[in-house]
Amino acid sequence: MRTADKQIADILVRYGEPFGGNVWRVQGTAVIYHKTLERIAAQAGIVFDPPTIIRAERDEAVLLVTGRLPGAKAGAKQTPDRIEWSMGEALVNVNYRVSGKQAAYVYAMAEKRGKDRVILKLIELHGLVYSEEEADEFRAQLPTVRAVDEDFEEAQPFDEVTEAEGDLKRRIDEAETINAVTDLMLDGATQAILAAMPPGTRDEVRDYAKARLVSLGWPKRTGRRSAA
């Protein structure tokens, strides 16, 4: 594992989150899911102040977001709270693209981006990894499902796909033998999950399983069907 990835993995494990299934790379840039950062914020007890609205237009929103990470006890002493702030911006057809009849939820997107940046600062991942909401080019590398805010999704939910992918990858990581990975991938329930995924996502999960097999020593054992 490259040094930067190990740094990211070491920090994620503090909050019970694995690297696999939560982080991927887009042209060398590490990107993390928004849902993962939400879980970490809840685990760490991060509290957000009400946002300050800097710009409010029909197609643009700019918010100032401030978050607080509670201090911890170090012996008899209590360390002070950590406070970080950041901006969240969304401007339609500039850094937030919509298409067809898709509605633009600029305030929701600005809030997500601002909160994600603050969380990354508070958990010391700022500069090592970016949120998936940071820019459309990151989201473009995700499964080809309509990228709208989950609160207003009408078709196949974007988060439902990414969470299924992440859950399956976590189960692949937890499989400790070649046979365990193979059995998981050939299981009827797994096949049903894969069949419901977009082709690009399905191929990525299968490649992930193959990489896990290789790390466990495959193809040393023979006589079993391929997991992919």
Query: Per residue in 213-225, pLDDT tens?
Result: 888 888 654 444 5
Most confident of 102-106, 107-111, 224-228: 107-111
**Does the structure show a pLDDT above 70 at 70?**
yes
**Residue 151 DSSP label:** G
Query: Per residue in 53-62, pLDDT tens?
Result: 999 998 999 9
Query: Per residue in 135-187, pLDDT tens?
Result: 766 666 654 333 333 333 333 344 455 677 778 888 888 888 988 988 998 88
Ramachandran bin of 5, using left for φ above 0, alpha for ψ from -120 to 50, beta for the remaining angles: alpha
Q: Give the Cβ contact number of residue 59 at 10 Å.
A: 13
Mean model confidence pLDDT for the chain: 81
CA separation for the pair 61, 203 (Å, rounded) = 36
Q: Give the Cβ contact number of residue 21 at 10 Å.
A: 22
**Does the structure show a pLDDT above 70 at 37?**
yes
Q: Please, which residues bridge with residue 203 across strands?
A: none
Q: What is the mean pLDDT of residues 105-131?
A: 94
Q: Give the Cβ contact number of residue 22 at 10 Å.
A: 23
**Residue 216 DSSP label:** T
Most confident of 33-42, 68-77, 215-224: 33-42
Output the pLDDT for position 151.
Answer: 37
